[in-house]
Amino acid sequence: MLRTLLILLLLAATPALAGGMLVEKREFVTEDFTTFGGETIPEVRVGWEAYGELNAARDNVILVTHFFSGTSHAAGRYHPDDNEPGYWDAIIGPGKAIDTDRFYVVSVDTLANANVHDEHVITTGPATINPETGEPWGLDFPVVTIRDFVEVQKRLLDSLGIERLHAVIGASMGSFQALEWAVAYPERVERMVSVIGGGRMHAWEIARLEHWANPIRLDPDWRGGDYYGHERPIEGLTASLMLITQDALHPDFFEMQFPDHRNLPAEALESLDGGFAVTDWLREQARQRATVSDANHVLYLTRASQLFVAGHGDDLAGAVDRVKARTLFLPAGGDLLLRPALAQEAHELLVRAGKDSGLVRLDGKMGHLDGVTAIDQAADRLSIFLGE
């Protein structure tokens, strides 16, 4: 999923953008972070945002975990004239499903965040400076996992004196983090909501994501990941982001977006360089995202997603058996990236283990992106779930 596309869709769907919550990006710094793979990162810096007020008991916290190409900007705007609301602004705010009059909502930039060159993102990854060398990490940065994202979030929450979560909720890669929280720290999580996600990546999904990595590796400017101080592998990154965008959408979206699609445009007949409207559109979306993205960061997030299985072991059933939270799964019926069957699998394993789990499908023609653009469909269900 790409934030530029999301913003355009949200703008089109939102009748009035004025007003709303104003938010600021904050920074959290922690030292000597040991990854799941056993490597140590001497200093981790990540950005985070919060909406609402933390109560005296510190028990009204909802953690929102973001998707692959997302950031901690889950709701609100950075200034009054900001035209880019947070991606779940439809459900986070005063009186909304995730009611900031009641809850203190926290969201954190992941390690190796794809948008490392975005002024509103703070992250530690291959493109950032290794304090021990004074140079960008490059591929010396340790492989990171979904569990590592959770552990950074835990350190932040610990620093705030927050010991329990009223809920953790996330979409796509964020859903992996949400479920991992419920498995890794069952005593700390009361509710878990997985949107367009699942309990593990299957062989098909792992192979599909490998296609996202290939264009970057094939770009000669990638230089084996050692391109800092040289030309960035923009062409490979752009091709990768084109694939990510298409995979996040459903064919019905393309039919709606390009109703006058032509199979034989003159440009395509005259030259192999001449394009189709749909491919030109995909390329332009990707080029915009490439200006704030980093190729190595995309590779690291791809690997973190490929590695995911809840509990980070070989036994998914045993992992979800540790869950104490009430759980709710919200797959998108037309999702071709993280198929609804992945959410169904995790949900059924929880039910068999005697856990309290529900599943409601989202409808729409956006495919995987229905988990963001159509999330308001589940607003009432979310409100009830969070209030129970």
Residue whose tokens read 């190729």 = 295
- Is 81 inside a domain boundary? yes
Q: How many Cα atoms are found within 13 Å in the side-chain-facing hemisphere of 26?
A: 12
Residues labelled catalytic:
172, 335, 368
Q: Which amino acid appears at position 200 of this protein?
A: R
Q: For 37-58, how does the pLDDT look when each residue is reduced to its tens digit (9 = 90+)?
A: 999 999 999 999 999 999 999 9
Kindly report the CATH number assigned to the domain that includes residue 378. Answer: 3.40.50.1820
| pLDDT (average), residues 157-180 | 98
Q: For 212-270, how does the pLDDT look when each residue is reduced to its tens digit (9 = 90+)?
A: 999 999 999 999 999 999 999 999 999 999 999 999 999 999 999 999 999 999 999 99
- Is 224 inside a domain boundary? no
Residue 19 reports pLDDT greater than 70: no
Full-model pTM: 0.94
Ordered DSSP codes for 118-173: STT----STTSEETTTTEE-GGGSPP--HHHHHHHHHHHHHHTT---BSEEEEETH
For residue 18 the two structure tokens come to 């004025």
- Is 228 inside a domain boundary? no
For residue 55 the two structure tokens come to 């109560």
Binned at pLDDT 50, 70 and 90, residue 275 comes out as confident
Q: Which amino acid appears at position 224 of this protein?
A: G
- Is 278 inside a domain boundary? no
User: Nearest 5 degrees, angle CA 224-CA 119-CA 97?
Assistant: 110
Q: Please give the Cα distance from 160 to 148 (Å, whole number).
A: 19
Domain containing residue 17: 3-201+309-387
- Is 331 inside a domain boundary? yes
Binned at pLDDT 50, 70 and 90, residue 5 comes out as low
Ordered DSSP codes for 294-356: -HHHHHHHHHHHHT-BTTSSS-HHHHHTT--SEEEEE-BTT-SSS-HHHHHHHHHHHHHTT--
Burial class (CB in 10 A: 0-12, 13-18, 19+), 324: middle
- Is 11 inside a domain boundary? yes
- Is 64 inside a domain boundary? yes
Binned at pLDDT 50, 70 and 90, residue 273 comes out as confident
Residue 7 reports pLDDT greater than 80: no
- Is 214 inside a domain boundary? no
For residue 29, the surrounding DSSP H or E stretch is strand 26-34
What pLDDT is attached to residue 185?
A: 98
What pLDDT is attached to residue 222?
A: 98
For the chain, what is the domain count?
1
Residue 3 reports pLDDT greater than 90: no
